[in-house]
Chain A
Amino acid sequence: MRFITKYKNIFALINGLLLILAGIFKLINLNIGTEWALIIAGIVGVVPIGMQAISALKIKVISIDVLVTIAVIGAILINEPVEAAVVTFLFLFGNYLEQKTLAKTRSAIKELAKITPKTALKIVDQQPQIVEIDEVEIGDQIQVNAGMQAPVDGEILYGDGYFNESAVTGESKFMNKSIGDSVFAGTSLENGSVIVKTGRVGEDTVFGKIVELVEDAQDDKSTQEQFIDHFSKYYTPIILLLAIVVGLITRNLQLAITILVLGCPGALVIGVPVSNVAGIGRGAKQGVLIKGGQVMSTFKKVDTMIFDKTGTLTVGRPAVTTVVNFNGEQKVALEMVAAVEQKVSHPLADAIVKFVAPTTDFMVNELMVIKGRGVAANVNKVKVLIGNQAMMREQQINVSEVMEKQLDNLSQNNQTVVIVAIDGVVRLIIGIKDVIRPEVAESLIKLRKLGIKRMVMLTGDTQISGEIIAKEARIDEIHGNLLPADKAEFIKQLQANGHKVAFVGDGINDSPSLKIAEIGIAMGNGTDVAIETSDVVLLKSDFGKLVESYRLSQRTVRNMYENIGIALGTVLLLFIGLWLGFIYMASGMLIHEISILIVVVNAMRLLSVSKNLTDINYLSTKIKYNK
């Protein structure tokens, strides 16, 4: 049995060669040769098909193989060897092409799974040894050198280096990691060398979970696919029954077996899953994980999107937005501040350091952090105070009326204000704010165009700070001061009013909302929690990916419907052709095989990256199809 399925393609080849031979015999008018070549071709062709038919019948499934086998045997019996030989050849050759093209639609996910290394450098008796990845166990010490990928998740025991974490975050950014830091399988070490203590291996690693998720997603059945499965369960037996009934009534065996071939549901059973796998593969390739066909079809129906504020619409890290200079040179003052802040661990300090890019020209001494106030230090023997108004008052620094006015302005604009006094004089006022992601406003316009009718921002922050961000993002509805439970309640309300809701959050503290919404979308976070609780994971913190995932689900669902249409249309046309009298067994099979290739190629269109799905001009030409 295995022998035959394994060499199915060889059977197809012999079958095809015999057909050619029959043609040659025909040319030299050796009729007896033609006939026997065709009969043998038919028999060689039907063996592998018949074997599969028998194994299907054993478990009480009437598969396509069963229909084709009966038809071919019938054709040989009524002395139609041409039909028998050609039908088997087309069926086998079609299968072969189907296999090849299917592999192509699956390639995106295959590439993903291929990323993790198959071997590891395990430290045995203080010497690195190459071992199979399956032999690595938790607690083993693994060496990773520059240019290699980490084969496991774990913690660095020795060494340091720069890791490219694009495999788990989608962001091609280098992270400096040293002793005690976590390393993820699939991420690559750009330089340096480390020894990692294994924490998780194989499917348990973060990357392994991502791959598993994508694999499961491809086979998760969409509503459309469930319908087709249900349909084909009855469809093939009905065709068989129809052929028997027609055969008995008309006593025309040829007509009966033709019906068997024409009724094959080939494109129907492959059409929907192939769209699904291509759509999910396309997403995975670009850092958008969509958890299956079911999610695709639901996502497409979403009309309301709810956004969390901090970390979703905003960057989630405060950044310097304003610097007001009062006395002296701004650049030097800022560099002095950065030199101090570099030694302090605080979100505001980080924001300043990031803004200034510190130099090494300054000596910082006597650094003192004053809780709830700020920080004081000597920079190149000059006293520097960095802090809030309370700090300046306590240190008896004079803050003029002009400065007071600036401070009020900034606070009203929802900025956190830092005052810098150097040598007893106020030099700078720095405004720091959590800023909106740069691509938000544009992305939301696109989403509206694509069919999202209502957008709402929900935040645990105050109403006012929410409104400031909402204005920039051009969201008209905002609700502040909400706890995670309140957000979930709000979504329930919308759903009760018949809305299909997608919730977009950072995947950490909004799990109730992510679960309750029809579609939960976690942004910029390849962590376990995000992967488990949400329906769509955007590996990159890029708002544009949100538009892409919505557009992709629309396109994939449309592709499924196109394929269902092509498949059903083919069967319908074939029967009309039969009725009008210009379709027979072999031509029917040919058209069937062509229709299968058409649906696969149609699905492949989803994979082509050449078209920028979210380009605004491209979108506006396409919008009308989705209305």
Chain B
Amino acid sequence: MKKVILKLDELSCPSCMVKINKAVAEIPGVTNSKVLFNASKVKLDLNEQQNSAQTVAKVVEDLGYQVLEIKEKELI
């Protein structure tokens, strides 16, 4: 399991947040996902056997939001 933090370009509408949240939560392997509206970040736990952080970032980008930075951290 990995903890993944995506830093997005500034989010300005709360409905974007709902969109991203739903889309990310549906990706297989993603648990505990959370979109931080004000910090413009997505935080989630990822089972990397099912999907990679890049896949998650791609889903977010396909919704129309730019991913500026991907951070991954091993969960112990």
Contact = CB atoms under 8 A, between A and B. Distances in A.
Interface of A: 1-2, 4-6, 51-52, 55-56, 59-61, 63-65, 95, 98-99, 102-103, 106, 109, 203, 215-216, 218-219, 269-270, 273, 277
A59 B36 contact: no
Interface in B25-44: 34-39, 41
A353 B19 CA distance: 62
Nearest to A211: B39
B75 interface: no
Q: Which of B15, B37, B62, B63 has most chain A Cβ within 10 Å?
A: B15
Given A1-B63, A6-B66, A55 B38 contact: no
Given A2-B61, A95-B12, A219-B39, A61 B19 contact: yes
A101 B15 CA distance: 18
Given A1-B62, A55-B64, A109-B38, A61 B15 contact: yes
A102 B9 CA distance: 13
Given A1-B62, A5-B64, A55-B63, A218 B12 contact: no
A5 B65 contact: yes
A378 B31 CA distance: 70
Interface string B49-76: 0000000000001111110000001000
B1 interface: no
A174 B73 CA distance: 34
Nearest to B14: A269
Most chain B Cβ neighbours within 10 Å, of A1, A4, A109: A1
B21 to A, nearest CB: 9
A56 B12 contact: no
Interface of B: 10, 12-16, 18-19, 22-23, 34-39, 41, 61-66, 73
A61 B18 CA distance: 8
Contacts of B12: 95, 98-99, 102
Contacts of B22: 59-61
27 contacts: A1-B63, A1-B64, A2-B61, A2-B64, A4-B64, A5-B64, A52-B64, A55-B19, A59-B22, A59-B23, A63-B13, A63-B15, A63-B19, A64-B13, A64-B15, A98-B12, A102-B10, A109-B38, A203-B73, A215-B36, A216-B36, A219-B35, A219-B36, A219-B37, A219-B39, A270-B13, A273-B14
A6 B14 CA distance: 17
A2 B66 contact: yes
A102 B37 CA distance: 11
A291 to B, nearest CB: 14
Contacts of A63: 13, 15, 18-19
Given A2-B66, A5-B64, A61-B22, A215 B15 contact: no
B73 to A, nearest CB: 8
Contacts of B64: 1-2, 4-5, 51-52, 55
Nearest to A101: B12
A4 B66 CA distance: 11
Among the interface residues A2, A64, A218, which one has the most CB atoms of the partner chain B within 10 A?
A2
Contacts of A216: 36, 39
B35 to A, nearest CB: 8
A593 B19 CA distance: 22
Given A2-B64, A2-B66, A52-B64, A273 B38 contact: yes
Contact of B19 (A56, A203, A215): A56
Nearest to A217: B38
A1 B22 CA distance: 18
Contact of B15 (A65, A106, A203): A65
Given A5-B64, A98-B12, A99-B12, 10 more contacts: A6-B66, A59-B22, A63-B18, A64-B15, A65-B15, A95-B12, A106-B38, A203-B73, A219-B34, A219-B39
Nearest to A64: B15
Contacts of A215: 36, 38-39, 41
A218 B36 contact: yes
B29 to A, nearest CB: 18
Contacts of A6: 66
Contacts of A103: 10
A273 B37 contact: yes
B19 A277 contact: no
A6 B64 CA distance: 8
A51 B64 CA distance: 9
A270 to B, nearest CB: 6
Contacts of A218: 36-39
A60 B15 CA distance: 12
B47 to A, nearest CB: 21
Nearest to B61: A2
B37 A269 contact: no
Nearest to B9: A6
A51 B37 CA distance: 21
Contacts of A277: 38
B13 to A, nearest CB: 7
A277 B35 CA distance: 15
Nearest to B73: A203
B4 to A, nearest CB: 12
Given A55-B19, A61-B18, A273-B38, A99 B10 contact: yes
A266 to B, nearest CB: 9
Nearest to B26: A59
B19 A59 contact: yes
Nearest to B22: A59
What are the 9 A-B residue pairs with the smallest beta carbon separation, nearest first?
A: A5-B64, A218-B38, A215-B39, A63-B15, A99-B12, A59-B22, A219-B36, A269-B14, A277-B38
B20 to A, nearest CB: 9
B13 A95 contact: yes
A432 B68 CA distance: 58
Contacts of A106: 38
Given A61-B19, A61-B22, A215-B41, A270 B14 contact: yes
A60 B12 CA distance: 20
Contacts of A51: 64
A582 to B, nearest CB: 29
Contacts of A4: 64
Contacts of B18: 61, 63
